[in-house]
Amino acid sequence: MNRQLKRQLRKTLLKLRSQIDREIWMQKSRAIGDRLANWQPFQQAQNILAFTSFRLEPDLSPLWQRFPDKNWGFPRCLEKNLLWHHVAIADFENSMRSGAFGILEPRHDLKLIDLASIDLILIPAVACDRQGYRLGYGGGFYDRWLPHSIGLKVGIIFDEFYVDELPRDPWDMPLDAVITEKYDTNKD
């Protein structure tokens, strides 16, 4: 039953997100980047996992361009798993390729990032709720990977996709915080 609820909710929310005006999307994305840049856990983090924008997800590229000296890792899909590669921001364009699902991801020959040293994980989502649960795209990549990850887990979404409650399954795990263009919500 939850799968059906999630599938319908995902479809509805992705349709809403697809209708965001490009200029508004850029403004909201910049606001999220500014909020992150001023957020103490981000300022203290040196090793950060991030994502490239897909289907009008928040665009964090101005953030990592502002902080090229941090160690950035980006995911690459391999079968049903996420592999995290270190990407030098100064060489970002040469380091990335269109990969699984048309998502921009690191070249397979780039060094894997040391996941034991991760301070902060910036996680894409279709939506997040007030308890920190996220609704993803339904592929389960993050659901399989997150339980074994180290670092502060932060959902990155636009404010209109921050909802009171999402349907959840036993394998869903809450994030540590959610950041929108209007809020940063550390869970206690």
Q: Which two tokens stand for residue 26?
A: 């850029």
Helix and strand totals (H; E) in the chain: 6, 12
Q: Is 142 annotated as a binding residue?
A: yes
Q: Which residue has the tokens 């939506």?
A: 127
Give, as one character, the DSSP assignment of residue 68. T
Q: Is 131 annotated as a binding residue?
A: no
CB 10 within 8 Å of CB 138: yes
Residue 89 backbone phi and psi in degrees, to 5:
-60, -35
CB 109 within 8 Å of CB 76: no
Q: Is 136 annotated as a binding residue?
A: yes
CB 106 within 8 Å of CB 118: no
CA atoms of 136 and 3, how far apart (whole Å): 12
Q: Is 139 annotated as a binding residue?
A: yes
Q: Is 9 annotated as a binding residue?
A: yes
Q: Is 134 annotated as a binding residue?
A: yes
SS3 sequence of 107-124: CCCCCECCHHHCCEEEEE
Q: Is 141 annotated as a binding residue?
A: yes
Q: Is 6 annotated as a binding residue?
A: yes
Residue ranges for the known binding site for substrate are 57
Residue ranges for the known binding site for ATP are 6-10, 134-142
Residue ranges for the known binding site are 6-10, 57, 134-142
